[in-house]
Structure 1
Amino acid sequence: MRTIITIILFILFLPQVYAQSDLDKPARLGEYNNFDTSIMECVYEHATYDPIKKSTQCTDWILEIGKNGSKYSLYPTYQCDSIINADYNGKPTRGEYYAVANKFETTKLTEQIKNLSENKFKNYESIFMDWYYYEEPIPQIEWNLVAGTDEICGHECKKATTTFRGRNWTAWYTEEIPIDNGPWKFGCLRG
């Protein structure tokens, strides 16, 4: 029990010690790996309902789509990275980085990369101070096309449903945008 308390206290006091002594040192940012150029970007709002708290939490994500793949990540992280690159030439001090990250309430990395040429889905995620990564083939999802259409953002959209990994999913898609890619592991939706 003493070890757990020590670790918790260390984690709680680490930001104060770190902030007081190292704010002027360069921030240690991860390597940037560019495997494609974005030709389209879509922002999604995830709404998660917590039945215990009886509340809904919304989070924005961005899907950056290129010819060879896509990246799906937290939108606040995307905004933070854009400011770091534009205002600090990608080389901020720790203090500058935390000021920007705190503005967007993001200090964690969560992103999924679909590399179509390698047929690989790569997931990167930070949980507290640990980093997790896994890789798998891009799943080939079988969709059931549903009759009827709806207009979404000025496009005539069709509805499709599927069951994937134990959950039922609904997607709206348009044939007016000829891109076969979607958020998370989704794709393979053709008219």
Structure 2
Amino acid sequence: MKQNYLVLFLLIPLQVFAQKTNNNYECIYEYTVKTANAETETYTAILQFDAIHAKFVDYAAFQLDSLMQTGQATEEQVKKAEERMVKTAYYFDQTTFVNVADKSISVYSVIPPSLYFYQEGMNGISWQLTEEIDTICGYLCNKAVGEYGGRTWNAWFSSEIPSQFGPWKFGGLPGLIMYACDTEKIHCFKAITFRQGTTPITAPKISNSITTSREKFIKAKNHFEENPIANIPTESITDMRVEKGDGGSNSIFINGVQVRLRTNGYVPLEIK
């Protein structure tokens, strides 16, 4: 008989797992979006986690941050990493940081020309476990179903990796979430590499950000992305520059914040 359980973002003890290695871990995800014009965009992001923290960020941003943490990077190396981040065709523009001690998820994102910050609790998803199993990235996984952001999500987690975390804001299952996809298969996060941590986990350091609420941010973000250039208030522009790239592609910055134009349109990750 199929058994269903409700799991409210469980705080699973990871002390044993942590003591075995005394280390943090990293899982690289391929994030795909099926756009309104039937194109598929592919992003690469990374989850860093230990027993009580998790950070999810675009892989290009992670590479730059890792380089800076060494304290030995040359100006040329830093410049190349910054250029790589700017020129990344599909850049995941949300950084999430989970702190189990505070039971919070901190979210850093952008609506040009400003940077934004908001927090939400860790109990945002009620999962229903199923008996379905699959193998993802070489790990045996179980399936759970939950609702978040106006979408229903199928999540596959592996008890072989006893972590309560997952990509983006997903978590609260008895194992690392290796795959999460909404039921319409528009937004999908799939693990492609799992490894021991290569750099320490650090909280994001984003200066001059505007503190807001999740509800206000999502409403403003989804409206802005309908027509980015038109939706930037002209009175807010103090500086604008265009950097020419290879192949005729240009990068636009307003007040130092990059405006990433979505040639395939925008499909909101969160509807509400």
TM normalised by structure 2 equals 0.49
Query: Where does residue 145 of structure 2 map in the other structure?
Result: 161
- Cα distance in 2 between the residues matched to 1:140 and 1:174: 20
Residues 1:100 and 2:84 aligned together: no
In structure 2, the gaps of 5 or more residues are 1-21, 176-272
Pick aligned residue for 2:72 from 89, 105, 118: 89
Conserved 8 A contact 1:123-1:133: yes
Equivalent residues in 2 for 1:41-60, closer than 5 Å:
41-51=26-36, 53-60=37-44
Task: Encode CA deviations 1:88-123: one digit per residue, 9 max, x unaligned.
Answer: 636x65x76443211343599641101100111111
Tell me the SS of whatever aligns to 1:188. Answer: coil
Conserved 8 A contact 1:44-1:60: yes
* Alignment CA distance shift 1:154-1:109 (3 Å): closer
Task: Encode CA deviations 1:32-70: one digit per residue, 9 max, x unaligned.
Answer: xxxxx961111111111112x321111111110112211
Conserved 8 A contact 2:45-2:92: no
* Alignment CA distance shift 1:50-1:97 (3 Å): same
Conserved 8 A contact 2:67-2:78: no
Query: Where does residue 171 of structure 1 map in the other structure?
Result: 155
- Cα distance in 2 between the residues matched to 1:181 and 1:139: 12
Query: Where does residue 52 of structure 2 map in the other structure?
Result: 68
Tell me the SS of whatever aligns to 2:60. Answer: helix
Distance apart, 1:185 and its partner CA: 1.8
Conserved 8 A contact 1:77-1:108: no
- Cα distance in 1 between the residues matched to 2:159 and 2:168: 20
- The range that moved more, 95-104 or 154-163, is 95-104
Conserved 8 A contact 1:146-1:159: yes
Residues 1:146 and 2:127 aligned together: no
Residues 1:181 and 2:165 aligned together: yes
- Cα distance in 1 between the residues matched to 2:84 and 2:128: 42
Structure 1 residue identity aligned to 2:51 = K
Conserved 8 A contact 1:38-1:64: no
Query: Where does residue 208 of structure 2 map in the other structure?
Result: none
* Alignment CA distance shift 1:61-1:169 (3 Å): same
Distance apart, 1:126 and its partner CA: 3.2
In structure 1, the gaps of 5 or more residues are 1-36
When Rg is computed on C-alpha atoms for both structures, the one with the higher figure is 1
Tell me the SS of whatever aligns to 2:24. Answer: strand
Pick aligned residue for 2:106 from 110, 122, 144: 122
Q: What's the % identity of the aligned pairs?
A: 30
- Cα distance in 1 between the residues matched to 2:101 and 2:52: 6
Structure 2 residue identity aligned to 1:40 = Y
Greater length-normalized contact order (CA 8 Å, ≥ 6 residues apart):
2
* Alignment CA distance shift 1:139-1:116 (3 Å): same
Distance apart, 1:189 and its partner CA: 1.1
Structure 2 residue identity aligned to 1:42 = C
Q: How many aligned residue pairs are there? A: 151
